[in-house]
Structure 1
Amino acid sequence: MSVIEKKLKDRSGSVCEISGVEHDLVVYTLPPHTAESLEHSVLIAKPLRDQIEHPETMNENDWRGLSESMWNEHLPVQILSWRMLARLKKNDLLDMMYLDEEALEWAKATGEGEEEDENKIVHKDSNGVVLQDGDSVVLIKDLDVKGATFTAKRGAAVHNIKLVWDDANLIEGRVENQSIYILTQYVKKTK
């Protein structure tokens, strides 16, 4: 058990900070943050974490605890509650929540709660964080570059990306002084 997991268990009383269940608990760090910490992580039931990471598997009944967790005193629990309420389109509960400007910006970092334009193409990294033109990303996997004589290595930084506007799964960036197309599922946004 990590130090952060122990501190989160102490903070939550060893229960899921969303649903209150006592078993199958994992640490979930809220994107865009990647390092586990008390300020950016929650203790959550593994099935809920799996639903966060795979929205197509969402089961609304599993999220009944949001009406209580939205009032939690800890900001990461509030942020996760806001995101899931937005995803589930629970606008009546969202309207009751108050987040200051900085917290609301963090809550919206994954694109949750944005007005949906069915024609709008949204580019998201491997963690579901929305990408914009000019962002910097890091490769999370070695990538063979077609038509080139090199492999783009895991951990390589790609600065000042350009979004491919007709394909939400592609970005353009420079690696080893060559402009290449990269699938968004193989990158992670950096600050």
Structure 2
Amino acid sequence: MTTTCQLSGATENLTTFAVGPDAPGRAPVEITLTQNLHDQLTGETEVAPNDWRCLNDAMWSENDAVKVVSYRMLHQLKAEGWPQDLLDMIYLEEETLAWAKAGLPDENAVVHLGANGNVLSVGDTVVLIKDLKVKGGGFTAKRGTAVRNIRLVADNAGQIEGRVEDQQIVILTEYVKKK
């Protein structure tokens, strides 16, 4: 394992991150990261855009796996403004660009995001962040209620389904956070 984070250059609290294989049938390629960046990449913690300003230097690395992670993260953060400028400057060989794009979500796919911007998946557990009056249910789902084993509404990124007080209800994603 490298003794510095290959993105930020930090030397403490390091771990490895599997970027994925660079070609079909090959082993995943690993890079060394701080635990903080690792947790943001894996969705264990909320993404903090300013933690990723290190990509300004990392995207010029000679290591293709570092370039791939840089490209993917810049792509995820491009709504922030500054990452789009870096995306416009980054240069990747054709094979490396294909590898980087292979790990990006389908641009046309419906993506369900919780209140904190984390991607929600089928089977996740979420927590309500405000009291919600359940229409037709005759009760109020209280803030802090855990909703386990959610389902996604296929054609609406703003809605999920879950069971609260033994009733299947539709919940707006803006009122939940991933547990």
TM-score band, normalised by the shorter chain? Answer: 0.5 to 0.7
Matched to 1:166, the amino acid is A
Q: Tell whether 2:10 aligns with 1:21.
A: yes
1:31 to 20, 23, 33: 20
What SS does the corresponding residue of 1:41 show, helix, strand or coil? strand
What is the distance in 2 between the residues matched to 1:110 and 1:57?
Answer: 19
What is the distance in 1 between the residues matched to 2:111 and 2:95?
Answer: 22
Native 8 Å contact 1:32 1:109 kept in 2: no
* Structure 1 residue 55: Cα displacement: 7.5
Partner of 1:79: 68
* Structure 1 residue 42: Cα displacement: 0.8
* Structure 1 residue 102: Cα displacement: 1.5
Aligned length: 111
Native 8 Å contact 1:26 1:43 kept in 2: yes
Where in structure 2 are the equivalents of 1:114-125 lying within 5 Å? 115=107, 117=108, 120-121=109-110
TM-score scaled to structure 2, two decimals?
Answer: 0.53
Where in structure 2 are the equivalents of 1:21-60 lying within 5 Å? 21-31=10-20, 40-54=29-43, 57-60=46-49
Return closer, same or farther for 1:109/1:55 CA change in 2, 3 Å cut-off: farther
Q: Tell whether 2:87 aligns with 1:94.
A: yes
* Structure 1 residue 101: Cα displacement: 1.9
Native 8 Å contact 2:15 2:32 kept in 1: yes
2:104 to 103, 106, 111: 111
Native 8 Å contact 1:32 1:110 kept in 2: no
Native 8 Å contact 2:21 2:29 kept in 1: no
* Structure 1 residue 167: Cα displacement: 7.4
Return closer, same or farther for 1:108/1:15 CA change in 2, 3 Å cut-off: same
Q: Tell whether 2:51 aligns with 1:62.
A: yes
What SS does the corresponding residue of 1:64 show, helix, strand or coil? helix
What is the distance in 2 between the residues matched to 1:60 and 1:29?
Answer: 21
Native 8 Å contact 1:27 1:42 kept in 2: yes
Native 8 Å contact 1:31 1:109 kept in 2: no
Matched to 2:9, the amino acid is G
RMSD, aligned CA? 3.2
Could you tell me which runs of 5 or more consecutive residues in structure 2 were left unpaired when the two chains were aligned.
Answer: 113-118, 120-152, 157-179
TM-score scaled to structure 1, two decimals?
Answer: 0.50
* Structure 1 residue 58: Cα displacement: 0.2
Q: Deviations over 1:27-84 (max 9, x none)?
A: 1111357xx97x8111100110100011860001111110000001111111111111
What is the distance in 1 between the residues matched to 2:85 and 2:9?
Answer: 22
The runs of at least 4 consecutive aligned structure 1 residues that moved more than 4 Å come to none
Return closer, same or farther for 1:108/1:56 CA change in 2, 3 Å cut-off: farther
* Structure 1 residue 110: Cα displacement: 2.1
What SS does the corresponding residue of 1:57 show, helix, strand or coil? coil
What is the distance in 2 between the residues matched to 1:79 and 1:91?
Answer: 15
